């Protein structure tokens, strides 16, 4: 019996040590990966749609001034996602997929993609954190709070550790 337990333990350790890393494909200078392959077995963490914290709680409820512009909101959200992942012993480098929902700022017909990207590039594809997730970005008509311009969902994978 002891040999069986030892054999099973050794097989488990061999499997854990041979885990393959996440594979990211795409142009080296692109801010996102064109695809991400997550090997089996992998632990996935799904972060629900995350919205910004108020930067000016004194501003009127439901106003963009309360939460900031698109870049400010994106930065706030990515910090919150980073903290949520840390609770799972993961980081932004483990994010394999993101979905970004943007609302056009008041008085504009189109989403502020450049504002979102300026904040996004502070967190992904940097020297300190070179990994880039696959990502979808879309303009939506509205989010729950009229002051929110950004909501982000993320999926992270723990593989090959």
pLDDT at 143 over 60: yes
Q: Which sequence spans correspond to the domains of the chain? A: 20-158
pLDDT 10s digits, 22-42:
898 989 888 888 998 888 888
pLDDT of 1? 53
> Does CATH place domain 20-158 in 3.30.1330.40?
yes
Question: 3-state secondary structure string, the chain?
Answer: CHHHHHHHHHHHHHHHHCCCCCEEECCCCCCCCCEEECCCCCEEEEEEEECCCCCCCCCCCCCHHHHCCHHHHHHHHHHHHHHHHHCCCCCHHHEEEEEEEECCCCCCCCCCHHHHHHHHCCCCCCCCCCCCCEEEEEECCCCCCCCCCEEEEEEEEECCC
């Amino acid at each position: 019996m002891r040999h069986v337990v030892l054999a099973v333990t050794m097989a488990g350790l061999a499997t854990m040590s041979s885990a393959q890393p996440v594979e990211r494909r795409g142009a080296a200078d692109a801010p996102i990966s064109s695809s991400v392959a997550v090997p089996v077995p992998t632990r996935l963490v799904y972060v629900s749609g995350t919205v910004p914290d108020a930067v000016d709680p004194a501003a009127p409820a439901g106003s963009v001034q309360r939460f900031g512009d698109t870049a400010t909101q994106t930065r706030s959200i990515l910090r919150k996602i980073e903290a949520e992942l840390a609770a799972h012993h993961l980081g932004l480098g483990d994010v394999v997929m993101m979905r970004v929902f943007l609302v056009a700022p008041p008085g504009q017909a189109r989403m502020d993609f450049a504002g979102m990207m300026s904040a996004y590039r502070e967190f992904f594809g940097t020297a300190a954190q070179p990994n880039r997730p696959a990502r979808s970005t879309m303009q939506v008509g509205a989010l729950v709070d009229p002051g929110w311009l950004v909501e982000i969902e993320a999926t992270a994978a723990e593989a090959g550790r």
